[in-house]
Amino acid sequence: MPTFRVVHEIRCDVDSFWRLFFDKEFNLRLYKDALGFPEFAVLDQQETEASIRRRCAGKPKVTMPGPVMKLMGDSFGYTEEGTFDKATKIWRWKVTPSTMADKLRQEGTLKVEAIGADKVRRTAELINEAKVFGIGGMIESSAEKSLRDGWDKSAVFMNEWLSKRPS
Protein backbone atom coordinates (compact mmCIF):
# COMPACT_ATOMS: atom_id res chain seq x y z
CA MET A 1 0.00 0.00 0.00
CA PRO A 2 1.55 3.33 -1.07
CA THR A 3 2.11 5.45 2.00
CA PHE A 4 4.25 8.48 2.67
CA ARG A 5 4.91 11.02 5.39
CA VAL A 6 5.30 14.79 5.36
CA VAL A 7 6.85 16.70 8.25
CA HIS A 8 6.95 20.46 8.82
CA GLU A 9 7.75 22.88 11.59
CA ILE A 10 5.04 25.37 12.46
CA ARG A 11 5.76 28.38 14.67
CA CYS A 12 3.12 28.12 17.39
CA ASP A 13 2.19 25.97 20.37
CA VAL A 14 0.09 22.79 20.08
CA ASP A 15 -3.22 24.36 21.16
CA SER A 16 -2.78 27.32 18.80
CA PHE A 17 -2.07 24.91 15.94
CA TRP A 18 -5.33 23.03 16.43
CA ARG A 19 -7.34 26.25 16.91
CA LEU A 20 -6.01 27.50 13.58
CA PHE A 21 -6.46 24.11 11.89
CA PHE A 22 -10.20 24.28 12.60
CA ASP A 23 -10.63 28.00 11.86
CA LYS A 24 -13.02 28.35 8.89
CA GLU A 25 -11.60 31.66 7.63
CA PHE A 26 -8.06 30.29 7.73
CA ASN A 27 -9.08 27.18 5.79
CA LEU A 28 -10.89 29.17 3.13
CA ARG A 29 -7.84 31.40 2.61
CA LEU A 30 -5.46 28.41 2.69
CA TYR A 31 -7.30 26.46 0.02
CA LYS A 32 -8.32 29.36 -2.21
CA ASP A 33 -5.28 31.66 -1.92
CA ALA A 34 -2.30 29.46 -1.07
CA LEU A 35 -3.34 26.22 -2.78
CA GLY A 36 -5.23 27.77 -5.69
CA PHE A 37 -8.44 25.75 -5.36
CA PRO A 38 -11.19 27.18 -7.60
CA GLU A 39 -13.72 25.84 -5.07
CA PHE A 40 -13.48 24.97 -1.39
CA ALA A 41 -16.01 24.94 1.47
CA VAL A 42 -16.31 23.68 5.01
CA LEU A 43 -19.66 21.89 4.73
CA ASP A 44 -20.07 20.93 8.36
CA GLN A 45 -18.09 21.17 11.58
CA GLN A 46 -19.32 19.87 14.92
CA GLU A 47 -17.56 19.82 18.26
CA THR A 48 -18.25 17.72 21.33
CA GLU A 49 -16.26 17.29 24.54
CA ALA A 50 -14.40 14.35 22.99
CA SER A 51 -13.98 15.27 19.32
CA ILE A 52 -14.30 17.66 16.42
CA ARG A 53 -15.81 16.34 13.19
CA ARG A 54 -15.45 18.23 9.94
CA ARG A 55 -16.59 17.68 6.38
CA CYS A 56 -15.15 19.75 3.54
CA ALA A 57 -15.52 19.77 -0.23
CA GLY A 58 -13.01 21.02 -2.74
CA LYS A 59 -12.13 21.17 -6.39
CA PRO A 60 -8.36 21.44 -6.68
CA LYS A 61 -6.52 22.76 -9.68
CA VAL A 62 -5.49 19.40 -11.16
CA THR A 63 -2.26 19.05 -13.13
CA MET A 64 -1.55 15.43 -13.97
CA PRO A 65 -0.36 13.53 -17.03
CA GLY A 66 -2.77 13.41 -20.00
CA PRO A 67 -4.08 9.85 -19.47
CA VAL A 68 -4.82 10.61 -15.81
CA MET A 69 -6.54 13.91 -16.65
CA LYS A 70 -8.72 12.11 -19.18
CA LEU A 71 -9.87 9.64 -16.51
CA MET A 72 -10.37 12.26 -13.80
CA GLY A 73 -12.26 14.72 -15.96
CA ASP A 74 -12.34 18.50 -15.83
CA SER A 75 -14.69 18.68 -12.87
CA PHE A 76 -12.67 16.51 -10.47
CA GLY A 77 -13.39 17.28 -6.84
CA TYR A 78 -13.56 15.53 -3.50
CA THR A 79 -15.16 15.43 -0.10
CA GLU A 80 -12.97 15.09 2.99
CA GLU A 81 -14.38 13.77 6.24
CA GLY A 82 -12.30 13.78 9.37
CA THR A 83 -12.37 13.48 13.12
CA PHE A 84 -10.07 15.03 15.70
CA ASP A 85 -9.79 13.01 18.89
CA LYS A 86 -9.24 15.54 21.69
CA ALA A 87 -7.73 12.96 24.04
CA THR A 88 -5.02 11.75 21.65
CA LYS A 89 -4.85 15.01 19.64
CA ILE A 90 -4.86 13.08 16.37
CA TRP A 91 -6.76 14.11 13.25
CA ARG A 92 -7.88 11.20 11.03
CA TRP A 93 -9.38 11.86 7.64
CA LYS A 94 -10.61 10.14 4.51
CA VAL A 95 -11.09 11.64 1.06
CA THR A 96 -13.84 10.53 -1.31
CA PRO A 97 -13.14 11.63 -4.90
CA SER A 98 -15.92 12.69 -7.24
CA THR A 99 -14.72 10.19 -9.85
CA MET A 100 -13.44 6.63 -9.46
CA ALA A 101 -14.28 6.55 -5.74
CA ASP A 102 -14.12 2.75 -5.81
CA LYS A 103 -10.58 2.79 -7.27
CA LEU A 104 -8.90 5.66 -5.42
CA ARG A 105 -8.05 5.66 -1.72
CA GLN A 106 -6.64 8.60 0.16
CA GLU A 107 -6.67 8.90 3.92
CA GLY A 108 -4.33 9.71 6.73
CA THR A 109 -3.50 10.94 10.19
CA LEU A 110 -2.10 14.23 11.41
CA LYS A 111 -0.24 14.76 14.69
CA VAL A 112 1.66 17.67 16.16
CA GLU A 113 4.24 17.64 18.90
CA ALA A 114 5.86 20.51 20.73
CA ILE A 115 9.54 20.96 19.86
CA GLY A 116 10.02 24.29 21.62
CA ALA A 117 8.11 27.00 23.43
CA ASP A 118 6.41 28.23 20.26
CA LYS A 119 7.18 25.56 17.70
CA VAL A 120 5.56 22.26 16.76
CA ARG A 121 6.44 19.44 14.42
CA ARG A 122 3.46 18.62 12.20
CA THR A 123 3.54 15.04 10.88
CA ALA A 124 1.03 13.74 8.37
CA GLU A 125 1.02 10.10 7.34
CA LEU A 126 -0.91 9.50 4.15
CA ILE A 127 -2.22 6.49 2.26
CA ASN A 128 -2.48 7.22 -1.45
CA GLU A 129 -3.65 4.25 -3.49
CA ALA A 130 -4.99 3.93 -7.05
CA LYS A 131 -6.30 0.60 -8.26
CA VAL A 132 -6.50 1.44 -11.95
CA PHE A 133 -5.10 -1.11 -14.38
CA GLY A 134 -2.15 0.19 -16.38
CA ILE A 135 -1.94 3.67 -14.89
CA GLY A 136 -2.44 3.18 -11.14
CA GLY A 137 1.24 3.87 -10.48
CA MET A 138 1.12 7.04 -12.58
CA ILE A 139 -1.92 8.26 -10.65
CA GLU A 140 -0.26 7.48 -7.31
CA SER A 141 3.01 9.22 -8.16
CA SER A 142 1.24 12.28 -9.61
CA ALA A 143 -1.08 12.51 -6.60
CA GLU A 144 1.81 12.11 -4.16
CA LYS A 145 3.75 14.90 -5.86
CA SER A 146 0.70 17.15 -5.74
CA LEU A 147 -0.03 16.29 -2.10
CA ARG A 148 3.56 16.89 -1.00
CA ASP A 149 3.52 20.24 -2.77
CA GLY A 150 0.23 21.16 -1.10
CA TRP A 151 1.45 20.23 2.37
CA ASP A 152 4.66 22.23 1.80
CA LYS A 153 2.65 25.28 0.68
CA SER A 154 0.28 24.91 3.63
CA ALA A 155 3.19 25.00 6.09
CA VAL A 156 4.54 28.21 4.55
CA PHE A 157 1.05 29.76 4.53
CA MET A 158 0.35 28.72 8.11
CA ASN A 159 3.63 30.20 9.36
CA GLU A 160 2.98 33.44 7.45
CA TRP A 161 -0.58 33.61 8.82
CA LEU A 162 0.68 33.09 12.37
CA SER A 163 3.40 35.75 12.01
CA LYS A 164 0.77 38.32 10.99
CA ARG A 165 -1.75 37.35 13.67
CA PRO A 166 -0.01 36.65 16.96
CA SER A 167 -2.23 34.74 19.40
pLDDT by position in tens, the chain (length 167): 589 999 999 999 999 999 999 999 999 999 999 999 999 999 999 999 999 999 999 998 877 666 666 766 677 899 999 999 999 999 999 999 998 899 999 999 999 999 998 999 999 999 999 998 888 888 898 889 989 999 999 999 999 999 997 65
Domains and CATH numbers, the chain: 3-164 (3.30.530.20)
The predicted model scores a pTM of 0.92
For 43, 52, 147, the CA distances from 85, given in Å and listed in that order, are 19, 7, 23
DSSP 139: H
- Tell which residue, 116, 55, 105, 41, has the closest CA to residue 84: 55
Helix (H, G, I), strand (E, B) or coil at 137: helix
- Tell which residue, 93, 85, 79, has the closest CA to residue 42: 79
What does the alpha-carbon distance between residue 32 and residue 119 come to, in Å, rounded to a whole number?
26
